[in-house]
Amino acid sequence: MTPRSGGKGGLRAVGASGDKLEIVDVIDFNDNRLAKSLFGEHDRNLARLEQKLGVVLTPRGNRVSVKGSPDNATRAIQALKQLYARLESGQEVLAADVDAAIRMVEGPLDEVLSAKPQSEQSIRTIKRMISPRSPAQAAYMESLRSSDLTVGLGPAGTGKTYIAVAVAVSLMLDGKVDRLILSRPAVEAGERLGFLPGDMRDKVDPYLRPLYDSLYDMLPAEQVDRKLETGEIEIAPLAFMRGRTLSNAFVILDEAQNTSPMQMKMFLTRLGENSIMAITGDPSQVDLPPGIRSGLADALEILDKMSGVSVCRFSEKDVVRHGLVTRIVAAYNRRDQARHARANAADLPVEDDDRPA
């Protein structure tokens, strides 16, 4: 059962502090066991919500009172409801899930209140349920389901590739596509690996390992291996895509910032009937040799605002890895912005530390 909040009166004003009206609401959770999991050990989940949302949460039994400004109190209530619904569906609530619920309620309040329930936004695969952990992820999931071509842009750790693979797997399991094709350009990240031993698959697999990792996280290993053998799932370097027409398939191009304009055009023109295409990349981590323009940047000039194409942009706020990763990405962005500002002021070319030696 879902939590009840506010009784008959809903949110109730209890006083004012300066210009900030304080609001109290009481939420009852019907399952004491789930309520205990929701609050966390020593109420640490509630403490996290208090810290981030500027409210006071007071638990008593299976009940929580919420005190804060009208907007903050409403956000806290929505976050608590999301987390309780997660527990009702049989999933855990960990610290990362609390942070995700906070991100989901930090946008404009009208959008927070009108958002679909998280259960409707989630992606179900055989091994796990994947729920959006930020509003940008929710919009990205929706685009992947509804657009012929979705481009996901943003820093590492925002779930661009992982979510694309999850949507592709769920559509394949539902019979909406026959094949899943995952591709990457075989470009080394600023290193020279030299000769790699083995047959062709042995040589290209190291570049494609992140795609395998995502698949094994969503499907049993024996199913992944069987589907790879039958061709239902295909993982191949971008160079192998030329000359093909990919019909009845979900096609993903990862690390697209490391394609050339010619490669990107080749890939985009592979799209066949009843197929969906997703392109993911981080424009700030280009590993191409100096003088070669990124095919992702080139394609965005052509594809942006084209009918049937959705472009979803992530920022450091959408990073869902360790909290330190968010701060690292933000620090790099500040440094790069300052560097561009100095270069523009002096009318000089921007230095690039990310180019391979």
Query: Tokens for 298?
Result: 């080139």
Contact 235, 250 (CB under 8 A): no
| pLDDT at residue 1 in the model | 46
- Paired residues of 58 in beta bridges: 65
Q: Percentage of residues in the chain with pLDDT exceeding 90? A: 51
| pLDDT exceeds 80 at position 18 | no
The whole-number average pLDDT for the span 314-339 is 77
| pLDDT at residue 66 in the model | 94
Q: pLDDT-derived band of residue 316, with 50, 70 and 90 as boundaries?
A: confident
- Paired residues of 264 in beta bridges: none
| pLDDT at residue 9 in the model | 37
Find, among 22, 4, 2, the residue nearest to 12 by Cα: 22
| pLDDT at residue 233 in the model | 94
Q: d(Cα 48, Cα 57) in Å, to the nearest integer?
A: 10
Geometric angle at alpha carbon 141, from 137 and 142, rounded to 5°:
120
| pLDDT exceeds 60 at position 272 | yes
Compute how many other C-beta atoms are within 10 angstroms of the C-beta atom of residue 287.
17
Compute how many other C-beta atoms are within 10 angstroms of the C-beta atom of residue 249.
25
The whole-number average pLDDT for the span 316-328 is 75
What residue ranges do the domains of the chain occupy?
A: 4-119, 123-322
**Assigned fold of 4-119:** Ribosomal Protein S8; Chain: A, domain 1 (3.30.1370)
Q: What class is the 123-322 domain?
A: alpha beta
Q: pLDDT-derived band of residue 265, with 50, 70 and 90 as boundaries?
A: very high
Q: Which parts of 147-184 fold into alpha helices (H)? A: 160-173
The whole-number average pLDDT for the span 344-350 is 63
| pLDDT at residue 20 in the model | 60
Residue of higher predicted confidence among 238 and 198: 238
Residue of higher predicted confidence among 300 and 20: 300
| pLDDT at residue 152 in the model | 96
Geometric angle at alpha carbon 186, from 137 and 213, rounded to 5°:
45
- Paired residues of 67 in beta bridges: 24, 56
Q: How many residues make up the chain in this entry?
A: 357
Q: Percentage of residues in the chain with pLDDT exceeding 70? A: 82
| pLDDT exceeds 90 at position 232 | yes
The whole-number average pLDDT for the span 227-235 is 92
Contact 303, 309 (CB under 8 A): yes
Find, among 281, 261, 273, the residue nearest to 153 by Cα: 281
Q: Which of 10-14, 50-54, 88-92, 212-216 has the lowest mean pLDDT?
A: 10-14
Mean pLDDT of the chain: 84
| pLDDT exceeds 70 at position 117 | yes
The whole-number average pLDDT for the span 310-328 is 81
| pLDDT at residue 3 in the model | 58
Q: pLDDT-derived band of residue 64, with 50, 70 and 90 as boundaries?
A: very high
Q: d(Cα 132, Cα 102) in Å, to the nearest integer?
A: 12
| pLDDT at residue 139 in the model | 93
- pLDDT 10s digits, 159-210: 999 999 999 999 999 999 999 999 988 764 444 444 555 555 565 667 678 8
Contact 52, 43 (CB under 8 A): no
**Which amino acid type is present at position 290?**
P
| pLDDT at residue 6 in the model | 45
| pLDDT at residue 146 in the model | 92
Compute how many other C-beta atoms are within 10 angstroms of the C-beta atom of residue 233.
23
Residue with the two structure tokens 């304009």: 261
